[in-house]
Structure 1
Amino acid sequence: MPSKTPSPYSNPWSKTLTVASAADRKAPLTYTRPSGREARTASAPALELDWFVEVLMRRMMPKNGNQQSVQWMNGLSAALPRTRPIYRQLVALVEGGIARGEVPPGFRLPPERDLARRLRVSRATVVSAYRELEARGLLRGYVGRGTFVSAKPDAGSAPFAWRGKMSAAALNSNDTTVRDLVSAAADPALVSLAAGVPALDCFPTAAFQHAMNDVLGKHAAVAWRHGPTEGLPAFRAALAERFGGDPEHILVIAGAQQGLDLLARCLIDPGDAVIVDRPGYLGAIQSFRTAGARLVGWDIAGADLDELEELMLRYRPKLLYTNPTHHNPTGYTMPIRYRVPIVEDDTYRELALGAPAPPPLFKLDDAHRVVIRVNSFSKMLAPGLRLGWISAVRPIVEQLSLIKQQVDPHTQNLSQLVVCELIGRGVFDRHVATIKAEHRRRRDAMVGALRQHVPAGALRFDVPDGGMYLWCQLQPGVRARAVQDHARRESVMVVTGEPFYVDQGGADRLRICYTSQPPERADRAARTLARSIAAAAREDPAAPTRLV
């Protein structure tokens, strides 16, 4: 069978490209979307990548003369002029292809990493280009599916340059990890081990419905009107009685993430140093970074008090943020003797699966009253409630409430009233006991499945005694992002370790949420991860070959 004649634009970095004529350069390229068996073949993504790169290269060919030769040996960054950023020129190339109809609506663009490798540019360049095109409405990204052309631009008007109008803080808020995790958790087609979600199928729906009906029957006027910014007095009293503290020292919030944002607004000025767990909760990292903080990582697992004191002296931080009990993402619990408190994220305290957790720092801080405690019902009940609270001394609560009223005059009254009923009726405590038993079952199922299907040494982790996560380390030479990409193609979502570090780190780490999926899905997830690790090992020559 004769071999197919290669396109003169294929493999642009391996040879000299010859343009037959200016007319040839202007000839349209057509794309036929594969379907059926062709679409399912392993070569389909590679063919689409070749075709897409060919479109870009044709736009960059010389406009004059026949039989002109162009050297592309050094990649896109060498071929394009330096008059403006490379990512903007890539935006113009893709936008032009869409405008001319060469890149049709519905076309799936190559993965960022694959296109960056072919064009010999950084992945950040491709990411910036894709995001700019999404902002212009030309592309649409879907978690687990890819990035697609959404529509042709309006030929009669140029898109408004919104990026030029955005603040520096907004432009620096470019980490999509949290948004992607939440989107993946909401997609029923995905087995999401990424977002931290409790066993929602254990949620006391009937009891919640009954409590809500009673609330609307007795307190409908309160439920639908504005409420105090600090929270309803009855709910604050219920929180103080169940979790400890003084009702006057409690501020009700729409989840722990809002609490961290309020604390950042209240306590941090641009340039202030903030010490955070390393690794630590990515939502806290994002909030503090957006506030302009200089983030300093402290090894939470090592819990080295001497190191912490050295960091305190060197950086003079404005605050210390720590998640000391069933830490996210590691599941680690810090011994009491090593704790140096300020902002205590206590979200996972109720989810102990072994021995009871040590007392919260907030209760131990009788002398100095410097601990600010953040908590949420997202992990204990459901994230959809968007309900949590901050415990602190009265001056901090008052200042936080003044800041909160600017963006959120009050937290939803109905949720406060219903959860108040659930606490008072004992439903909440019974539910916590139920999900702890179910979480233990799911943890054991995931641990067993991983040990059964993933080769020894390929994925190392400690079995946590609480929380929601397995904090896993991959074997040397295997990149977590490559494993994530391969697993996503099989509709299994995990999150890499990089977003949990304020500095370089986490490239060999995966966080697996074992609570979000029923035990019967653990086997599928583990098999997928085993295949993904093997595929990632084949991509990297430094990885051991025994997994291949």
Structure 2
Amino acid sequence: MDKIDWKPDPSSSIPLYQQIEGFMKEKITSGEWTVGMKLPSQRALAAAFQVNRSTLIMALEHLTSQGYIAGKSGGGTTIIHHQPERQWESPPPPNWNAYVEDGVHYPNLPTIQTINRMEFDPTMIRLGTGELSPELLPQEQVRLLFAELARQHMPLGYEEALGTYALRSQVSAHLQRVGISAPPSTILIVSGSLQAFQLISAGLLEKGSTMLLEKPSYLYSIHAFQSAGMKLIGLPMDESGLQVSHVERFKRQYDASLLYTIPTFHNPTGTVMSDKRRRDLLETSLRIGLPILEDGAYEELWFGHEAPPPPLRALDTQGQVLYVGTMSKIVSPGLRIGWVVGPQPVIERLADIKMQTDYGSSSLSQAAAAEWFGAGWHAEHCRTIRRQLKERRDCMLQLLDAHWSNLATWSTPQGGFYIWVTLHANISMAALFEHALKRGILINPGYIYDRSAKKQLRLSFAYAGLDEMERAMIELSILIRHIHCLSV
């Protein structure tokens, strides 16, 4: 159930419990709250309506007596009829809650569902968000870009399965600058990296296949592969990235079909896989027959004078690496433009699956992306973003030094969005998440990337403003100390 944004009116002549009863009855009879749906706890509902518990209980008792809801011992309260007074006149409505529970796609963890919802609350300080602040996005350039498109022939129809040739040609030239040779015929335009993962899971892997990946990993926070019946097995990491020495044993032990990696500014740890380890990984994967899925989302966001090591795909001479790139992390998440690079038969297979699911990415977004690269704006924008992100990273590191030095250890990322923080104390990260939320601070606890990461946080310096960042980091340090004191 989404957040309830209605409150009873204390100044009304209608008693509060009757207002609540009427509100809930309207939700049920309209079908918005479906038969079979479980209501939040009495405490949660009372807090949402901002009334005391006895007032809420009166409303629930009236709804129960009328046959709308029923409570079960230890099982909460459930909606049982949407029009109980007419239940004998017509068949009951479908139990949509049962359909929801039977769906094949896994639901997000409750924590992730809360994060996804609260990221749209303008009052929240978003200290875990994996996207650029609106003030860092190229608002003016994109406005000019669409003005230029408006003077041209606007593409309003469907495009070919692979994506427009104009955009694939621009992506091909863009990739050449980082050492990846990919003619347009080997590039598929997708609606962001997440769609690429969904297409790969549906089009290339058998149900029950096993995928190896870094532990922790971004993939643990989404269910693109698990919902398709894949198993994810984590490989240990160190300061140089994924530990290649374990790959062959894990491949043999789990009969793995694919290895997923974010070698450059890894999400969530910020780690960069060393050049030697990249070459060792390619040699090992080729020898044991294990293809690689490389996620290059952050590789353009370095902070030093030198770029990170080349992508795995740039070093690949045997066609063993599928490469996924995106515009979401640097230009605009709203454009929903990404790409997959791979052998032509693979790309054609994925394109066929894509046409079956959405009949091609937005033609307007593709035209805008082609114009963005073609106008030469990308390189300059990247330089600007690197400088601004470095300033934000330095600010967060200073705040960590000032307020967290006796609470945690952390990485110092050389690029990307994230700082991976490990607390000294064994406190409940779920409690920290909830307490922070009540204070208007949204964080990403480590357990959404690895269930065993019970002392970790992924802090993002990409979204919150500097003043917000300072206030939130100080408030979090106080909360950590408070929760620790309560737990000892």
TM superposition score category, shorter chain reference: 0.7 to 0.9
SS class of match (1:448): helix
* Aligned counterparts of 1:214 and 1:392: Cα–Cα separation in 2: 32
Question: Which letter does structure 2 place at the counterpart of 1:364?
Answer: L
Deviations 1:58-88 (A, max 9, x none): 9xxxxxxxxxxxxxxxxxxxxxxxxxxxxxx
2:203 corresponds to: 266
**1:15-94 paired onto structure 2 within 5 Å:** 52=53
**Among residues 306, 315, 323, which one is paired with 1:364 in the alignment?**
315
* Aligned counterparts of 1:256 and 1:331: Cα–Cα separation in 2: 18
**Among residues 390, 403, 406, which one is paired with 1:457 in the alignment?**
406
Q: Size of the alignment, in residue pairs?
A: 423
**1:426-441 paired onto structure 2 within 5 Å:** 426-441=376-391
Q: CA deviation at 1:99?
A: 4.1
Change (3 A) 1:237 1:30: closer
* Aligned counterparts of 1:514 and 1:457: Cα–Cα separation in 2: 21
Change (3 A) 1:46 1:424: closer
1:306 corresponds to: 245
1:194 corresponds to: 128
2:151 corresponds to: 217
1:183 aligns with 2:133: no
* Aligned counterparts of 1:485 and 1:159: Cα–Cα separation in 2: 36
**Contact 2:127/2:469 (8 A) holds in 1:** no
1:485 aligns with 2:422: no
**1:304-453 paired onto structure 2 within 5 Å:** 304-339=243-278, 340=281, 342-354=292-304, 355-366=306-317, 368-453=318-403
Question: Which letter does structure 2 place at the counterpart of 1:533?
Answer: I
1:248 aligns with 2:190: no
Question: Which letter does structure 1 place at the counterpart of 2:234?
Answer: G
**Among residues 513, 516, 519, which one is paired with 2:463 in the alignment?**
516
Question: Which letter does structure 2 place at the counterpart of 1:440?
Answer: K
Change (3 A) 1:369 1:167: farther
**Contact 1:325/1:333 (8 A) holds in 2:** yes
Q: CA deviation at 1:269?
A: 2.1
Q: CA deviation at 1:55?
A: 8.0
| RMSD (CA atoms) | 3.3
* Aligned counterparts of 2:428 and 2:251: Cα–Cα separation in 1: 33
Q: CA deviation at 1:191?
A: 0.5
**Among residues 415, 424, 429, which one is paired with 1:466 in the alignment?**
415
* Aligned counterparts of 2:459 and 2:163: Cα–Cα separation in 1: 34
Question: Which letter does structure 2 place at the counterpart of 1:398?
Answer: E
* Aligned counterparts of 2:83 and 2:205: Cα–Cα separation in 1: 44
SS class of match (1:533): helix
Change (3 A) 1:424 1:32: closer
Change (3 A) 1:538 1:347: same
* Aligned counterparts of 1:46 and 1:173: Cα–Cα separation in 2: 23
Greater relative contact order: 1 or 2 (C-alpha under 8 angstroms, separation 6 or more)?
Answer: 2
Q: CA deviation at 1:53?
A: 9.7
Change (3 A) 1:521 1:430: same
Q: Which runs of 5+ in 2 are unaligned?
A: 1-15, 21-42, 177-181, 283-291
SS class of match (1:329): coil
* Aligned counterparts of 2:200 and 2:325: Cα–Cα separation in 1: 13
Deviations 1:380-400 (A, max 9, x none): 112111111111110100000
Q: CA deviation at 1:95?
A: 7.1
Moved over 6 A (4+): 29-33, 44-51, 53-56, 94-97
336-345 or 154-163, which moves further after superposition?
154-163
Change (3 A) 1:320 1:45: closer
**Contact 1:182/1:195 (8 A) holds in 2:** no
Change (3 A) 1:478 1:386: same
* Aligned counterparts of 2:263 and 2:250: Cα–Cα separation in 1: 18
State the identity as a percent. 26
Change (3 A) 1:523 1:99: same
* Aligned counterparts of 1:184 and 1:166: Cα–Cα separation in 2: 22
Q: CA deviation at 1:166?
A: 4.9
* Aligned counterparts of 1:176 and 1:374: Cα–Cα separation in 2: 28
* Aligned counterparts of 1:98 and 1:496: Cα–Cα separation in 2: 38
**Contact 1:200/1:382 (8 A) holds in 2:** no
**Contact 1:55/1:97 (8 A) holds in 2:** no
Question: Which letter does structure 1 place at the counterpart of 2:129?
Answer: A
* Aligned counterparts of 1:462 and 1:453: Cα–Cα separation in 2: 16
Q: CA deviation at 1:240?
A: 0.4
2:159 corresponds to: 227
Q: CA deviation at 1:32?
A: 11
* Aligned counterparts of 2:248 and 2:358: Cα–Cα separation in 1: 37
SS class of match (1:343): strand
1:286 aligns with 2:223: yes
**Contact 2:220/2:448 (8 A) holds in 1:** no
1:529 corresponds to: 476
Question: Which letter does structure 2 place at the counterpart of 1:476?
Answer: A
**Contact 1:259/1:390 (8 A) holds in 2:** yes
**Contact 1:231/1:251 (8 A) holds in 2:** yes
Q: CA deviation at 1:338?
A: 2.4
* Aligned counterparts of 1:164 and 1:45: Cα–Cα separation in 2: 23
**Contact 1:484/1:532 (8 A) holds in 2:** no
Deviations 1:327-373 (A, max 9, x none): 0000001113323350001000011112411101111111x201000
Change (3 A) 1:413 1:54: closer
Question: Which letter does structure 2 place at the counterpart of 1:489?
Answer: K
TM-score, structure 1 normalization: 0.70
**Contact 1:257/1:283 (8 A) holds in 2:** no
Q: CA deviation at 1:416?
A: 1.4
**Contact 1:468/1:514 (8 A) holds in 2:** yes
SS class of match (1:471): strand
**Contact 1:471/1:510 (8 A) holds in 2:** yes
TM-score, structure 2 normalization: 0.79
* Aligned counterparts of 1:318 and 1:282: Cα–Cα separation in 2: 16
* Aligned counterparts of 1:415 and 1:372: Cα–Cα separation in 2: 23
Change (3 A) 1:211 1:30: closer
**Contact 2:129/2:462 (8 A) holds in 1:** no
Change (3 A) 1:48 1:271: same
2:11 corresponds to: none
